[in-house]
Amino acid sequence: MIKKEDLNLTMLGIPYVKSKHLNDMQSEKIIREIEYANEFQESCDELYDGFYTRNVISRHHYLTNQINKHSNSFEQLLILSVGLDTKPDTLFSLKNKKCFGLDIAANDIKNIYSYSKTKTKTKILQCDLEKDINSTILEELEQEGMIHSKPTYIIWEGGTFFISKSNVYKALQYFCSHINIVGCSVDFMNKEVFSPPRHKKANEHLQLMEKIGAPWKSFFSEDELVKMYEELGFTNIDITLHGEYEKKSLGTIKLDNDIMYMTTAVKFSS
């Protein structure tokens, strides 16, 4: 049995939601024997209008759409803050793509896959995105089969807000400088909702994250995101409000329409 205190509960909530609401059998298998997988999800949902569940579902639909849309333009997928992401194992558009995942909790992730007797095609590497962005991680990716010159797409789901704003930029800048990154899809929390908190629910959510030892560190404005992508060399930038995909996937908008920016930037015509 994997002890609860040894794991990041924020990570387990994602396969729990996907198994219950998205018919994701891979996620179902991952959390089947972990009875506390939904604890963090329930805490967040109770505080803030079903925040965790609605956010995971909305993000999943957005990223699935972007991956499918751009799949003919890349050969490799690099997932930052990979967690227990099942998209490489469930999306047909990724069937023939090499997939690599970086995460500060790589050992936890591998232990969960082993415990649940679940396999993933993703090559998972240990990486603290605030400290380990250097030539060593490039070498480790290469050892796992990544070819830096091949067209590569980045997805970064539900992870930017756990690291500082400057380190978000540094991570993206480093990979764009050393790997042939042709596009990326990344989500960011909106500073107008959280910095300072727009309302009591937002403030209580920030307090919860602080309490469990996973404080949110960065929030962005739309102008900051456009500037960042332009500095990274992207010419085609799209920024979508969370509410658009919340409504598409769930029929209604219960969270702040602008709680999160869902962004895609590519270096080709989309």
pLDDT tens per residue, range 188-205: 999 999 999 999 999 999
Query: Which of 82, 80, 77, 113 lies closest to 14 in space, CA to CA?
Result: 82
Rg (CA), the chain: 17
DSSP string spanning 96-131? TSEEEEEETTHHHHHHHHHHTT---SSEEEE--TTT
In this predicted model, what pLDDT tens digit does every residue of 241-253 receive, in sequence order? Answer: 999 999 999 999 9
pLDDT confidence tier of residue 269, bands split at 50, 70 and 90? confident
Q: What is the pLDDT of residue 8?
A: 64
**For the ranges 115-119, 122-126, 162-166, which has the lowest average pLDDT?**
115-119
Question: According to DSSP H, which parts of 71-105 are helical?
Answer: 87-90
Its domain, for residue 121, covers 4-266
Provide the domain count of the chain.
1
Average pLDDT over residues 129-153: 98
Q: What is the pLDDT of residue 4?
A: 59
Q: Kindly give the pairing relationship between strand 152-156 and strand 76-80.
A: parallel
CATH number of the CATH domain containing 85: 3.40.50.150
Show Cβ contacts of residue 153 under 8 Å, excluding neighbours closer than 6 positions: 67, 70, 73, 74, 76, 77, 78, 181, 182, 183, 184, 185
Average pLDDT over residues 32-40: 88
Cα 11 to Cα 41: distance, rounded to the nearest angstrom: 10
pLDDT, averaged across the chain:
95
Average pLDDT over residues 235-240: 97
By CB neighbour count within 10 A (0-12 exposed, 13-18 middle, 19+ buried), where does 95 fall?
Answer: exposed
Report helix, strand or coil for 174. helix
Write out the H or E segment, with its range, that includes residue 247: helix 242-250
Q: Is the pTM of this model over 0.85?
A: yes
Query: Which of 232, 237, 102 lies closest to 174 in space, CA to CA?
Result: 232
Q: What is the pLDDT of residue 53?
A: 97
CB 136 within 8 A of CB 102: no
Cα 25 to Cα 38: distance, rounded to the nearest angstrom: 16
In this predicted model, what pLDDT tens digit does every residue of 148-169 receive, in sequence order? Answer: 999 999 999 999 999 999 999 9
Cα 257 to Cα 145: distance, rounded to the nearest angstrom: 40
- Does position 144 have pLDDT exceeding 80, yes or no? yes
- Does position 10 have pLDDT exceeding 80, yes or no? no
